Amino acid sequence: MTTSTTSKSKKTAVKSPAGKAAPAKRASNRAKPSAASAVSLHGIEPYTEKKNEEYMGEAQRAHFKKILFAWKHELMEEVDRTVSHMKDEAANFPDPADRATQEEEFSLELRTRDRERKLIKKIDKTLLRLEDDDYGFCDQCGIEIGIRRLEARPTADLCVDCKTLDEIREKQISGG
């Protein structure tokens, strides 16, 4: 094997001995995992439907309850981390620019936590719907929302079609 270096690019090129071709590169199968092997929300595997299984039966409801509780737990941990971080980082900087930077960081952090607080409320509302056997069905038209959509967005309360129409109406009203 010989090695040559070009001065312009400073890359080292490795040549194969004469008569032997370099092995062809194969596309990695790991690049796109199949839906069945992909990890879903919060480390929980995607639901595998059984043959002739009733939509939103006991097993499916238990699966989504597990996802929602895991998600809520993650959000609550993040809130706790934020509180301790803000206590640890709180300092009275003598420099006004440093103080302003810290206040801006805290402001952004608090805005993020406020959005997460609203999301926790939505998760709680969704958990109540699960208990009332109302989960997984569109609020507007009543059809099944679908397992894959619910795994992508466990708090969804509209099917794809109704959500699309809702977004179109919203664009028309806002003039966008």
Annotated binding site: 138, 141, 159, 162
Binding region for Zn(2+): 138, 141, 159, 162
Contact 162, 143 (CB under 8 A): no
φ/ψ of residue 58, rounded to 5? -60, -45
- Look at strands 2-5 and 12-15 and give their pairing: antiparallel
What gap in Å lies between CA 79 and CA 35, rounded to an integer?
31
What gap in Å lies between CA 123 and CA 72, rounded to an integer?
7
What gap in Å lies between CA 131 and CA 126, rounded to an integer?
9
Q: Which of 56, 71, 70 is nearest to 135 (CA)?
A: 56
- 141: Cβ contacts below 8 Å, ≥ 6 apart: 159, 161, 162
